[in-house]
Amino acid sequence: MHIFGMIKDDFDGVTIMTSIFLTKAQQFWPLTDYLSGFGVPIGRYIERFHLPGKMLDAPELYIDEARFWRLAQDLAEREGFLDWGFRAGQQLDLSVLGEFGTKLLQQPSLKVALEQFVIAISAEALHAQFAVKKKGEYFWLIMNGLDGAPTGRSILELYDLQFFFILVQSAAGKAWRPPAVYLQCDSLPEGIAKNEISTGDIHFSSTMTAIAIPEALMAMPMRNYCFFTTMDAEIKHNGRGQPDFTTSLRLLLSGYLDERLTVSDCADLVGMSVRTLQRRLAERETSFHELLDQTCFDTAKQLLQDESISVSNICYELGYENPANFTRAFRRWAGVTPRQHRQLL
């Protein structure tokens, strides 16, 4: 999201390092578009703070982030839009992150998407540090270190908070809100209701910005993850917009079949202990091995529809050491061999 540049100057033989926070103009477009919709003369503010006027038309243009956030603070006070960071953030989608945003939406689970987001943004955003940490019954998506951010950091914090929401909502649905939130600002700006931020507690004047994510959500597939037809039918059958726990776990497992995951590997992927995972599955009258079998079977049936893929290749794609083992397993699932099943299609 943020790019960090360095300028070196030699003065009496001493090298002076001056940091410049640079961000692509496109990442501020939701903010400028929001204000323009209310008739705010955003061009005048851009000129006043000596930002390039073409930033409104050139998405790849790098601009001085600190200068923009000084503009944000001045504009908020002059125009009375104290909640504009949060409101503009509500118009965000992950396309702001370009190809990386598209990649996040295609991840097999929320946990994987969050971890990739943290790795990528931590390499670029020097005004803050990001992390995903497990504590108690929640995973926490955390941003530390806004003390080093420029003027306007309360607006920046609520704007970045919407990125957090959008990431989780891409798996959990647009109505999702965190059960607990920590904010570095002292209070919410006028016009923002508490229930817009959290369904539970909000802790102000914190040393970090953080949202709580129930561990059960971490196994959910992201919005653009490729669902199998059979699983799509199950989702429709259960009458909800999101798959249940076992269905989402099957979706997750489908991306790792060639690795022949153990129950321990699976528990690590979804951010649970082995005991918690086994208990969750037992409550749904199934087990990890049964779920893995179901996923292999569904995947095998899907692949067998494509006659250009040999049974041997399907065998290895599903993690079996040889076609004979795969054939025995498929016969156990379907009562026929893979070749017989293909002939029946």
Instruction: Write down the domain spans for the chain.
Output: 3-217, 229-344
Task: Check residue 337 and give its pLDDT.
Answer: 84
Is it true that 3-217 and 229-344 share their CATH fold? no
Task: Check residue 326 and give its pLDDT.
Answer: 92
Question: Measuring CA to CA, which residue among 299, 314, 207 is closest to residue 251?
Answer: 299
Residue 251 CA to residue 231 CA, distance in Å, equals 8
Task: Check residue 227 and give its pLDDT.
Answer: 47
Check if the beta carbon of residue 329 is closer than 8 Å to that of residue 321: no
Task: Check residue 145 and give its pLDDT.
Answer: 67
Q: Which CATH superfamily is domain 229-344 in?
A: Homeodomain-like (1.10.10.60)
Three-state DSSP state, 182: strand
Neighbours of 260 (CB within 10 A): 13
Segments in the chain below pLDDT 70: 1-21, 108, 123-128, 145-152, 225-243, 335
Check if the beta carbon of residue 110 is closer than 8 Å to that of residue 242: no
Q: Domain 3-217 classified CATH 3.40.50.1820? A: no
What residues contact residue 183 under an 8 Å CB cut-off, 6+ apart? 157, 161, 197, 202, 203, 204, 205, 206, 209
Task: Check residue 253 and give its pLDDT.
Answer: 87
Chain segment 56-88, per-residue pLDDT in tens:
988 888 888 778 888 888 888 888 877 888 888
Check if the beta carbon of residue 298 is closer than 8 Å to that of residue 230: yes
Question: Measuring CA to CA, which residue among 212, 248, 229 is closest to residue 107?
Answer: 248
Question: Measuring CA to CA, which residue among 262, 256, 337, 328 is closest to residue 295?
Answer: 256
What residues contact residue 216 under an 8 Å CB cut-off, 6+ apart? 245, 280
- In one-letter notation, the amino acid at residue 53 is G
The answer to whether the predicted template modeling score (pTM) of the entire model surpasses 0.85 is no
